[in-house]
């Protein structure tokens, strides 16, 4: 019991520290950064494919999703069991970097999708949007997409 309380305390401290962290947009023009951010922010990105396999929502779990926020370049979402949040940084030519990603530590059945999604945040170094802006792919180098998300607009 003490271990669980201790781990939760650490998670909360990391969440607070991540929320207070700010990033700069050095290396790119204000217009380029704003247009890239506008393309991915304000949408609820539902996970539809992970490492080339379709994603289905496990029963009694949340829908795996990702949301990018313009404020302080923060992202948050749910892996199916645990909520997560962190920061992201956009670069030129579709570059993306995730950092400071922390998650709650609930134990659930069928956590394979969530574990793989968290690995994507460590591996991804670029992103691509479909021509209609409805599909977001997180990629590593020129490999096949690590994860693909479908846009669901927020109201």
Number of domains in the chain: 1
pTM to 2 decimals? 0.74
Cα distance between residue 77 and residue 124, in whole Å: 16
- Tens-place pLDDT, residues 55-81: 988 777 899 999 999 989 999 999 999
Full domain range(s) for residue 94: 2-153
Residue 97, domain CATH = 2.40.128.270
- Tens-place pLDDT, residues 30-61: 445 456 667 899 899 999 999 999 998 877 78
Instruction: Output the DSSP codes for 53-77.
Output: EE--PPTTSPPPEEEEETGGGEEEE
- Tens-place pLDDT, residues 87-134: 999 999 999 999 999 999 999 988 999 999 999 999 999 999 999 999
């Amino acid at each position: 019991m003490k271990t669980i309380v201790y781990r939760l305390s650490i998670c909360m401290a990391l969440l607070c520290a991540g929320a207070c962290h700010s990033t700069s947009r050095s290396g790119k023009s204000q217009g380029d950064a704003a247009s890239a951010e506008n393309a991915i922010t304000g949408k609820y990105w539902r996970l539809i494919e992970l490492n080339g396999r379709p994603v289905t929502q496990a029963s009694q779990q949340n829908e795996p999703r990702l949301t990018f926020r313009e404020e302080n370049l923060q992202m948050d979402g749910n892996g199916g069991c645990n909520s997560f949040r962190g920061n992201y940084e956009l670069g030129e030519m579709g570059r993306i970097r995730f950092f400071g990603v922390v998650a709650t530590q609930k134990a659930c059945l069928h956590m394979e999708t969530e574990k793989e999604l968290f690995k994507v945040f460590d591996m991804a170094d670029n992103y691509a949007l479909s021509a209609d802006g409805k599909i977001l792919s997180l990629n590593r180098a020129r490999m096949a997409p690590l994860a693909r998300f479908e846009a669901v607009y927020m109201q």
